[in-house]
Structure 1
Amino acid sequence: MDRTTRQAALWATAVAVPITLVVALVAILATRPDDGTAAEPSATPPRPQATTPVAMDAPKLSERATVVCRALVSQLPTAVRDLRVRPVTAGHEQNAAYGDPAITVSCGAPKATYPPTDQVFQLNRVCWHQVERPDASEWTTVDREVPVRVTVPRAYDGPGQWTTAFSDTVIATVRSLEKIPTGCKP
């Protein structure tokens, strides 16, 4: 074999081997069965829930509280995790409900009264006082000009974590008190 033929054979091999490997790899990947591990985006379907209105009271609010509560309710999310918003029987400008059983949000709730030894929880920069009821956990803001109450039924684990879903909206729409109650750290 002369030198020119040998160089041509080496060049042909140098080009053919990588191309053959790429073609083989593509063929293997194209023909292998799907093992179900491919990462595809998928939305978590919302859990089934009632669509009937949730019974809620609508106490008369002062003019300022009405403005604040309308702002709060208008900024609430349409869903919290997989719980969609539901209609309420009264006070649609101050109340909201999510899921079934319903987690409720009441703006203009009565001010939380509690002994100074009770613990308050700062959840996402909002101070809440928690009261345990037989059927639910109630969380009321203690550092806002208009109190907001979130009621989380016992059916949901981690009621404080559900409550935090509303903290950003409370911060954005309800002014903080000038004098923060004892136990709340700014």
Structure 2
Amino acid sequence: MQVFNDIKRKEEKQGGITRRYNWLGRRSKFTIMSRIDRAVAYCSWLDMYPMARVSLLPWIRSDHRPLLLDTDENKKKKRSLFRYDSRWRLYSGLKQVVEQVCGQESSNMSDGNIHSIILQCRKSLSQWRSKQNTNSENIIQELKQEIQGVYDSPIINYNLLTTLKAKLQLQYRLEEEY
């Protein structure tokens, strides 16, 4: 597999289809966008990886949009488990959910049936979570789309771009905490 970093034709610079650009630069007061990254494969390589696909990832932290080579043919969706997210402690509604479950399950506490309390608490937290926007991954994707929108606009607002990238950095830190 070879990856090249060059343009083939003049049309691949400003004035073409913007979603195909994968490099952005600033010269003086002008913004320049080019398509310079490509992937090329030999027939023998394609025979080994017939389902291989190259996709263009969004602009996030660089003046390049990275290329992603995916050779995995058998992607399986994993079943997610319930996990308490320590970031939830920042939401005021969480404490009320737990207090409500403990109040309703107080008879089970006196019986020593902690298992029932935990199951009910898990169920209530899952319902509460589904109503909140607590998923950093979703927030990160929304911010990436906003950043992509700024890059795709005819005039790039660099102040907005800086703000969105700072928010994205914060969400990455929160995701790391998770």
TM-score (norm 1): 0.17
Normalised by the length of structure 2, the TM-score is 0.18
Larger Rg: 1
More helix by share: 2
